[in-house]
Structure 1
Amino acid sequence: MAKESFDKEIQFLRMLVLTSGAYSRQQFADRLGISVHTFDKTIRRLKDIAGSVQQADEQNKAMADMLRTSYYESADPLLLFLFRSKSLKESESYRLSLLIASLQEQALTPLELLDLCCEGMPEELALPDEKTIRSDLKYLEQAGVIRRLPGGRPQKYTAHNDFVSMLSDEELSDLYAFVDVMANTQVPSVQGYLLRDSLKKAMKRRQLPDGASDLFLYKYHYHSRILDEAHLYTIMQAIESRRKLSFHYFTPKSNQSYHSKNTNPMFVKPSEGRLTEMLPLKVAYDHQYGRWYLLGYSSGRSQVAIFRMEGITQLVESGVVTEDEHAAKLAALERNTSFSWLVDLGRPVTVKVRFFNPEGAKRNFIKDRVQLQGQWGVLTDEDEASFLFEITVNGTQEIKPWLRSFGSSCEVLEPVSLRREFIKEWKELAEYYEPVRKNIQLPDDGTA
């Protein structure tokens, strides 16, 4: 199957979500490093992609509808449709859709499917031959979409949806509700969203109401992480095959997040992205901020390197390294990150914190959470009021948000520098709640 790069579309839609339409066309183009003309072409391309994956009765739905102001109404992450269709050529997209739709109704042979495709394909698209149809059927069978029926020649194929068809209406509704929650809470989630959409179509065929949205309103906060999954599987494949990767990297502080590939030498401009080659070794996910990280060994600097996946564009695989070299680099990475709270490579420092137990609570949820999330930290000096938590980590930057989330139930004791940082932050927060005028009198109930 044909593969296409969506670096520009991914960065385009990421900015569209984050800025909520606050940029003008020119500002948007400058931020991406493209021209206004390319901006307009990208808008048209995304509208075509969105239209090609919608049902016939929904094709007039505007792309703006995917950016609703109500948080809970945005059931589908904006970028999910990039995973649905345009990894295929237009002719492949139409052909596979016809094959799957035909096999939903009855079992058919490759020649019968060839006739149906030739009748159903649009005039402007090339007609397939028998070899192409057999290749498509092999691909769909490997993907688990269809299955081959037992028996001799001619071989027959049918849609592989027995599991869903055997479920009762109540079981199908329960399964959809479960997948809907899991797709929004587990990592990665793209496959979960695709499964949810398939179940939704099955429910629609049975004319069952979609009641899950009435029961569950929780949605994951970081939809943009789904964009980074476009790179995730390429990276994981490179890790398994011990292949190096090269890409252009834009740091979070960069003024641009993409650079167009100009073919005219008169208009070539220097890119803000850094051309990087590395041996990928591990992928990490930060639940606190919804970020993917790529860890590996940088070829240029000959040391452990970490990249935020959202800044990676134009990702391609390159040479293969030996097993011994791969094992040595992986061991070096493990040594450098052995005390990383997430991916920090700073100098190891011991953090001591006193946590205060909740008063009057039937269960000590503070201690439960520290034991669950505290990684390799140790609990000591316990009494009825509090307990001490001690952990050695690479730097304090990554553990700070976790400690801060405990609020007044947590007091940082060591190191002194971290304690001073918390004191400064809490003083700044206290100032935000100072009255505008000193003579303002608050009501007795505490409301302003």
Structure 2
Amino acid sequence: MARESFDKEIQFLRMLVLTSGAYNRQQYADRLGISIHTFDKTIKRLKEIANAVYQQLPADKGKEFAETVRYSYLDSSDPMLLFLFRAKSLKESESQRLSLLLAAMHEKALTAMELLDLCCGSMPAELALPDEKTIRGDLKYLEQVGVIQKEPGTRPFRYRTYNDLITVLSPEELQDLYDFVDIMANTQLPSVQGYLLRDGLKKHMARNPDDYGRAEPFLYKYHYYSRILDEAHLFTLLDAIRSRRFVSFLYFSPKKETSYASKNTNPLFERDTEGSQEMILPLKVVYDHQYGRWYLLGRHPRHGIKKYRLEGLTQISEGDAAPEADYEAHTSDLEQRIRQSWLIDTGKPVTVKARFFHPGPGISNFVKERVLLQGQWGSITEETGDSFIYEIVVNGMVEIKPWIRSFGSSCEVLAPLKLREEMIAEWKEIKSYYESL
């Protein structure tokens, strides 16, 4: 299947959202590691995809795409950058062929040869006719993604569309399912597949408006656009983890000036990129709620445990499978090394001690409630009428610092001394921003 990679478009959209369109064309092209010509082609393609998926977008074709993004975000509670996942990443012939196959299998179960005859008789004259191998590849793909189901029995196997979810439920049950999926997609991780399921249910319900007449009870404003874009790689990595397979990718560190490089196939136009080619055995994927970031943790053949931000991964491909014994040993080693990590830090353990102040008499003690909720395995060791002391042993101080800082004046770091001094320096710097001129 020609299921295209959207690496370039993903990196472009992430930069566009994070900078709110502050860069000019040349700056965008430089950051992406592409030419102005390629940049303009990418803009045109994204406009076409967005206008095809979101009919409510402005009709003004000359409008900057950054303005289009801002318009849709303010106009709708639906996360606009999801349009990339709804885009058709198949060739025209494949789209036509899959549509014919699904329509035929919706009526009754058919064999691969029957479907081949149907396609050869129904495909437009200007498109190439498929062969048996192509049809069987289509059926395998559709079965993998859960669209069709193989009927029980002997060869030749018959296939039908798999729509049991909507046929066995009553209208009331489908409405409840839609509301549940809507809530989970907007509040849990990952989100993309939930949104696609919700949209499929909405289309089915729209065909029978008499049974589903009530308005949607919930509206959301989606935060952290980047986590939607990162999910383009998430399920590829989870599949590699399940199958114990190595993955290779071109990685761009967040500290680098560029975030993408074109994949040149002509050796005359090859050029060095600032990305690094990596091959690791993926072991774990972690999400950071504090900043809305996904991380990949894996075992490098030479450098041991390594960590990557998903936003820097491009050109991902799966490799050979690792022996089960090796995989279990690497997983056990990783779990041991991050056992005391606030998130994914594998540094030396350090005891953090902080005093938290109660908000005051007659006020709900939201500070203590939050510490108990988010404090992980830490514990309250001492408590007085106006404060309490919280202690935790963590790997390093970098990851816990934003959490401590978020309490503002309700928290005072007591130990270690280095962390206390760093917090003092940071608050002095913040204070200097607000000093009278």
Decide: shared fold, TM above 0.5.
yes
Instruction: Map 1:308-323 to 2 at 5 A.
Output: 308-323=309-324
* Per-residue deviation, residues 82-140 of structure 1 (Å, max 9, x unmatched): 33354533322232234445666x44645886676557644432234566556545543
Instruction: Map 1:45-444 to 2 at 5 A.
Output: 45-50=45-50, 64=65, 67-69=69-71, 71-101=73-103, 106-107=107-108, 109=110, 117=119, 121-128=123-130, 132-133=134-135, 136-137=138-139, 139-147=141-149, 159-165=161-167, 171-207=173-209, 208=212, 211-212=215-216, 215-300=217-302, 302-360=303-361, 364-436=365-437
Q: Which amino acid aligns with 2:315?
A: Q
1:400: Cα distance to partner? 1.1
* Per-residue deviation, residues 162-213 of structure 1 (Å, max 9, x unmatched): 443565555544433332232122111111010111122123222356833x
1:50: Cα distance to partner? 4.5
SS of residue in 1 equivalent to 2:220: coil
Q: Give the aligned length.
A: 431
RMSD (Å), alpha carbons: 3.5
Q: Which amino acid aligns with 2:413?
A: V
Whole-angstrom distance in 2 between the partners of 1:291 and 1:345: 18
CA spacing shift, 1:279–1:166, aligned 2, 3 Å: closer
Q: Which amino acid aligns with 1:334?
A: E
Q: Which amino acid aligns with 1:164?
A: I
Q: Which amino acid aligns with 1:367?
A: K
Percent sequence identity over aligned pairs: 62
Shifted more, 360-369 versus 268-277: the winner is: 360-369
* 1:356 and 1:387 in contact (8 A); partners too: yes
What corresponds to 1:439 in structure 2?
none
Q: Runs of 5+ in structure 2 lacking a partner? A: none
SS of residue in 1 equivalent to 2:225: coil
Q: Which amino acid aligns with 2:238?
A: M
Whole-angstrom distance in 1 between the partners of 2:425 and 2:121: 72
1:298: Cα distance to partner? 2.3
What corresponds to 1:33 in structure 2?
33
Shifted more, 242-251 versus 115-124: the winner is: 115-124
Whole-angstrom distance in 2 between the partners of 1:335 and 1:150: 45
CA spacing shift, 1:131–1:75, aligned 2, 3 Å: farther
Q: Runs of 5+ in structure 1 lacking a partner? A: 437-448
1:254: Cα distance to partner? 0.7
CA spacing shift, 1:367–1:292, aligned 2, 3 Å: same
* Per-residue deviation, residues 32-59 of structure 1 (Å, max 9, x unmatched): 111112222323333454466678x999
1:229: Cα distance to partner? 1.8
* 2:110 and 2:160 in contact (8 A); partners too: no
* 2:230 and 2:310 in contact (8 A); partners too: yes
Shifted more, 164-173 versus 378-387: the winner is: 164-173
Whole-angstrom distance in 2 between the partners of 1:121 and 1:392: 65
Q: Which amino acid aligns with 2:33?
A: G
